[in-house]
Each structure stands twice: as C-alpha cells, then as structure tokens.
Amino acid sequence: MKRLTTPPPPGFDAVGDVAGLLLRVDKSGSRSWILRYTTGETRLAASGKPYKVRRDHGLGGYPDTSLAMAREKACKVRNMLTEGIAPGRAQGSQAR
C-alpha cells in the first residue's frame, strides 16, 4: 500500500546539525537544500540601521541530494567561509 503524504507548505525548514542548512520548499512542492550564511559585509537599511549581508548557497535538489550529502556539502562550504573563500567565487573559478 502506498503511503499518502501532503506536500510541505512553501518556505524554509531548518534541518540542524550544520548552522544555516535549510530545506527550501517552493509553491509547486519542489524541494532543494540551501546553506544560508552571512558575509562580513555590513550595509545600511533605509532606516539607517546596519545589517550583515546574507547569502543563500544552493547545495542540490531533494531527493537527488540526500540529507547526508547536503550536510557534507554544507560543512565544506562552512570550512571555505572560515578560510575566507566565497563559495560562489570558488565555483566560478573551477568552472573556467
């Protein structure tokens, strides 16, 4: 017998274990893993209040990318950030 499940509501669900690891669900129900992090850059909001710039880094679609794989990728990106390497720029340089 097939188990019926309702699709999760659109939005972001925190996974845990790795800071910033989220499962993003869009309106169609498609899911993907992202790592949300802040950069060292600070900007000013319209109100004049400073805030840190936030970025989302894609780790792969679910279920093609498992939770274990997403955690591993997220840890690698976190290590890059610790070393001062921007993950998007590192990918772009590898692609060339």
| More confident site: 87 or 78 | 78
* Beta strand spans in the chain (E): 11-14, 21-25, 31-44, 50-62
pLDDT in tens, 11-39: 998 987 899 999 999 999 899 999 999 98
CATH 3.30.160.390 fits 11-83, yes or no: yes
Helix 87-95 × helix 67-82 angle, to 10°: 100
> Sign of dihedral through CA atoms 92, 38, 30, 2?
positive
CA distance 51 to 53: 7
pTM of the model: 0.77
Beta-carbon contacts of 12 under 8 Å, excluding residues fewer than 6 positions away, are 22, 23, 24, 25, 34, 36
Domain map (residue ranges) of the chain: 11-83
Write the burial class of residue 48 (CB in 10 Å: 0-12 exposed, 13-18 middle, 19+ buried): exposed
pLDDT in tens, 47-85: 999 999 999 999 999 999 999 999 999 999 999 999 988
